[in-house]
Structure 1
Amino acid sequence: MLLDPAIRDWVLIPIMVVMVLVGVVRHQVTVLLNGTPKKADLKSARETKALQRGAILRAFGSHLPEHAFLSRKAYLSDAFEKGSYLKEPISNGKPKPNLMQDPAYVETMMDGMKKNIMNIVPQTVIMGWINFFFSGFVLIKLPFPLTIRFKSMLQRGIETHDMDVSWVSSLSWYFLNLFGLQSVFTLILGSGHAADAMRDMQAMSTMGMGAAAGPQMGPTGQPQDMHKVFLSEKENLELTEHEWGLDNVETRLLVKYGKKPRSVLLEKKGVSSTKTSSSTMVSSSGSSGSSSHVVTTTTTTTTTTSSKKKGKKQN
């Protein structure tokens, strides 16, 4: 199949150019609507940083000695349970305030609506323009073969079963540009631009509500109960066990550079596990001393009874 060179000049390149220009305009309009960035609330930032502190302790606790890890673990668990880092203190049976009367919550909702409008309107206009003027166009052929599973992604709007998968339709070219022009936008607008398609999809799924200017939102757009979040983080901390990252570091270094065989590490692991199990047995035997005494007494009584029966039979 041969393509007319005019398709390249009047369909392929114009779609890409229009998408780049729309992305630049959307970035500028978003900057104008957002205005100057607002400072984060101190109490809200403290809530977020406290959760991050617990997650960092769980992830990198092996870099701390055992006593330091346990002290931090105990402090954070107690603080999470008491709600020391909560923005608002724990209400004992008191009704929750109306969120619509909270200026921060209302402002966050308005910012989310603005972002959604700036995400939805340009994409809807471009898709309608492509469907109206370039519906059913085949634009390019990819220079590498693909499997049949890519047919629905690369040939949207073309209902054919015999066409090779490498051919790309106009609507599929739009989606490829939507997610493939991010490097171009970064080059033109810099990092952190407002023309990121992936970030737009995430903002649309969460209604575009962030946590910087108001209460923290869940996936459904409703404010989270931060006390429950802290309690779940406390449970995660309590389930985390400490493993000293510098344990047998000298031996591991010698094994890494071939100075000692790898079996030395396995032997040391076996010795350490044996010590752990023996200490566990000692502690359990101390707690079950009375039960072992009862078992010993019962065994002695049984032996005495059996010896008496043997003496009677001999007589």
Structure 2
Amino acid sequence: MGDSQQMILDPAIRDWVLIPIMIVMVLVGVLRHHITMLLTGTPKKPLLKAIRESKALLRGMRLRSFGNYIPHHAFNSRKQYLSQAYEKGTYLKNPDAAKDNNNNNANPLTAPNPMTDPEMMEGMMDGMKKQLVNMVPQMLIMGWINFFFQGFIVIKLPFPLTPRFKSMLQSGVDTRDMDVTWVSSLSWYFLNLFGLGSVFALILGDSNAAGVDMAAMGSMPGMMPGMGAQPGQPQDFKKLFLAEKENVLITPHVWDLDDVEERLLTKYGKFSPTKSSSPPASKSKKEPTIKDKIKAAQKISGKRR
């Protein structure tokens, strides 16, 4: 361990291995972004029925979260309307298909065939294009690094790490006594692959396709198993609507503006709840009427004369 701490790297490794790998990763990411934009084209606007389907579910969630800011009768009317709409499937994008699934007792949650739905087919094709654009450059870069820079140590991290990081930071270098802070060329490639997201966001903007796609990486052999997404399985909004209906029906309501005047007066010291609860004391003298006031004024004027 003492000898490994004193290891000195050749400056040529920095100039011809470390910096070139990082520059190639940035250039390949920019190129991948532009190729993805050319293959997928401009994103299409979603259908109005699909937007209404998702926003209807959000409407019930908003009612449960902020329902205390409206009166009791308004909350009850909205609760009744949304529960009936969720039950009947008013906001479903395809209510006829939902009715057919409810009538068929075989398997009501069977996913539709993607080959017969143009929208799902197009989404699957876009996903395959993105996977192809992600896989091919990464395989080429990994082959280039393994062929030219296999076994190189390129950098030393300035902070200590536990031995569990050794297999991640020293890929392709089988040494047992080397300090875990030393990074191999292949591990430097993976660090750039997952760590250049901020650089791509600065160069290409937030919504860029230059970063690594986890779904595409999950389909690559030997890398990140279980991360791949399974296209062609849409959400069952009928089931979500029924669950949201139950949540809306059991949500209690307490209007936040009940007794707001008394609470404000109590907060600023102008009102005492104990005094307001006690009945007002009966006055022994009656308040003078207008006729009494006129007679009193006439008497005062007569005395002055």
Common fold, TM-score beyond 0.5? yes
User: Secondary structure of 1:91's partner?
Assistant: helix
Aligned-pair identity (%): 66
How many Å separate the matches in 1 of 2:8 and 2:126? Answer: 49
Match of 2:165 among 139, 142, 150: 150
- Which string of whole-angstrom CA distances, capped at 9 and with x for unpartnered residues, describes residues 224-280 of structure 1? 33211222222333344446567899989x99xxx99xxxxxxxxxxxxxxxxxxxx
CA pair 99-201 structure 1, distance change in 2 beyond 3 A: closer
> Is the contact between residue 135 and residue 216 of structure 2 (CA under 8 Å) also seen in structure 1?
no
RMSD of aligned Cα (Å): 3.1
Deviation of the 1:193 alpha carbon: 0.8
Deviation of the 1:64 alpha carbon: 4.3
Match of 1:111 among 126, 145, 148: 126
Match of 2:31 among 25, 29, 33: 25
Deviation of the 1:161 alpha carbon: 2.3
5 Å-filtered alignment, 1:290-305, equals none
User: Secondary structure of 2:34's partner?
Assistant: helix
Is the aligned partner of 1:91 residue 2:99?
Answer: yes
Is the aligned partner of 1:81 residue 2:81?
Answer: no
TM-score (norm 2): 0.69
User: Secondary structure of 1:168's partner?
Assistant: strand
User: Secondary structure of 2:159's partner?
Assistant: coil
Specify the alignment match of 1:303 in structure 2. none
Amino acid at match of 2:143: G
Specify the alignment match of 1:215 in structure 2. none
User: Secondary structure of 2:99's partner?
Assistant: coil
- Which string of whole-angstrom CA distances, capped at 9 and with x for unpartnered residues, describes residues 88-130 of structure 1? 1132436987541222222222112111111222222222222
How many Å separate the matches in 1 of 2:67 and 2:162? Answer: 46
Deviation of the 1:202 alpha carbon: 4.2
Q: How many residues align?
A: 243
How many Å separate the matches in 2 of 1:203 and 1:83? Answer: 35
Match of 1:180 among 191, 195, 200: 195
How many Å separate the matches in 1 of 2:237 and 2:13? Answer: 56
Match of 1:190 among 205, 208, 211: 205
How many Å separate the matches in 2 of 1:134 and 1:245? Answer: 67
Deviation of the 1:58 alpha carbon: 3.5
Larger radius of gyration: 2
> Is the contact between residue 163 and residue 180 of structure 2 (CA under 8 Å) also seen in structure 1?
yes
Is the aligned partner of 1:235 residue 2:241?
Answer: no
Of Structure 1 and Structure 2, which has the larger fraction of its residues in helix? 1
5 Å-filtered alignment, 1:120-131, equals 120-131=135-146
How many Å separate the matches in 2 of 1:124 and 1:86? Answer: 43
TM-score (norm 1): 0.67
How many Å separate the matches in 2 of 1:176 and 1:245? Answer: 52
- Which string of whole-angstrom CA distances, capped at 9 and with x for unpartnered residues, describes residues 62-84 of structure 1? 54455444433332222111100
Q: Note the residue ranges of structure 1 that are not aligned, 5 or more in a row.
A: 207-217, 261-315
Deviation of the 1:56 alpha carbon: 3.1
- Which string of whole-angstrom CA distances, capped at 9 and with x for unpartnered residues, describes residues 12-48 of structure 1? 0011000000000011111111223212111111111
Is the aligned partner of 1:159 residue 2:170?
Answer: no
Match of 2:12 among 6, 9, 18: 6
